[in-house]
Amino acid sequence: MIVFEHLRCPLHRYTFSVRPIRLWVEQHCEGRVLNLFAGPTMLDVIEIRNDLDPAMPADYHLDALALLRNWTGDSFNTILLDPPYAMRKSMELYKGHICSPFRQLKDEIPRCLSPGGIVITFGYHSIVMGAGRKFSLERVALFSHGGAIHDTIASIERYHPDP
């Protein structure tokens, strides 16, 4: 069964700076969290932070794909994906930093995620990791920003690798 939630909140370029979104994320994170596109907002979770922008408070300032491909530490229980949702958004709002090719990023995530772990993704789509990567959709949240502003969709998908 998939749980669907609808929340109204303002839009901000730093998604987690919006209180209802931040609280929703903190409520649903499990265990050790990798925040791949961290931005300035510190979450009240056990968080390893990555942001390409060296001005952001982060443990790493690496391209997200490079971080995943080279990760040799313990696996994570939750991985947060909140990249710029479109090339235009990246160019206009994030100093022109372009995030990694998203498909390659998604292909690398399972090797850094514990079995039974979750991926929480923000963007314009509800299915991100997908059954082909052995994920099942558990929860979808629609964050309505009002007016002519596109809604933000958050999904929680759980990883079920082969036994």
**pLDDT tens readout for residues 13-67:** 899 999 999 999 999 999 999 999 999 999 999 999 999 999 999 999 999 999 9
Structural domain includes residue 162: no
CA distances from 65 to 51, 55, 158 (A): 12, 19, 20
- Supply φ then ψ for residue 25, to 5 degrees: -65, -50
Structural domain includes residue 154: no
What is residue 50's DSSP assignment? Answer: B
Per-residue model confidence (pLDDT) at position 120: 98
Calpha distance 55→40 (Å, rounded) = 9
| Percent of all residues in the chain with a pLDDT value above 70, rounded to a whole number | 90
What is residue 102's DSSP assignment? Answer: H
Structural domain includes residue 122: no
Structural domain includes residue 107: yes
Range of the domain at 15: 7-73+88-115
Sheet holding 135-144, edge to edge: 3-8, 135-144, 152-159, 113-123, 76-81, 32-35, 46-49
Calpha distance 29→69 (Å, rounded) = 23
88: Cβ contacts below 8 Å, ≥ 6 apart = none
Structural domain includes residue 11: yes
Structural domain includes residue 16: yes
Per-residue model confidence (pLDDT) at position 45: 98
> In the structure encoding, which two tokens stand for residue 53, read together?
């922008």
Structural domain includes residue 123: no
CB 21 within 8 A of CB 143: yes
Reply yes or no on whether the pLDDT at 90 is more than 80.
Answer: no
Structural domain includes residue 64: yes
User: In the chain, what are the helix, strand and coil shares in percent, each to the nearest 5?
Assistant: 25, 30, 45
Reply yes or no on whether the pLDDT at 87 is more than 80.
Answer: no
Per-residue model confidence (pLDDT) at position 28: 98
For the chain, the domain total comes to 1
Per-residue model confidence (pLDDT) at position 97: 56
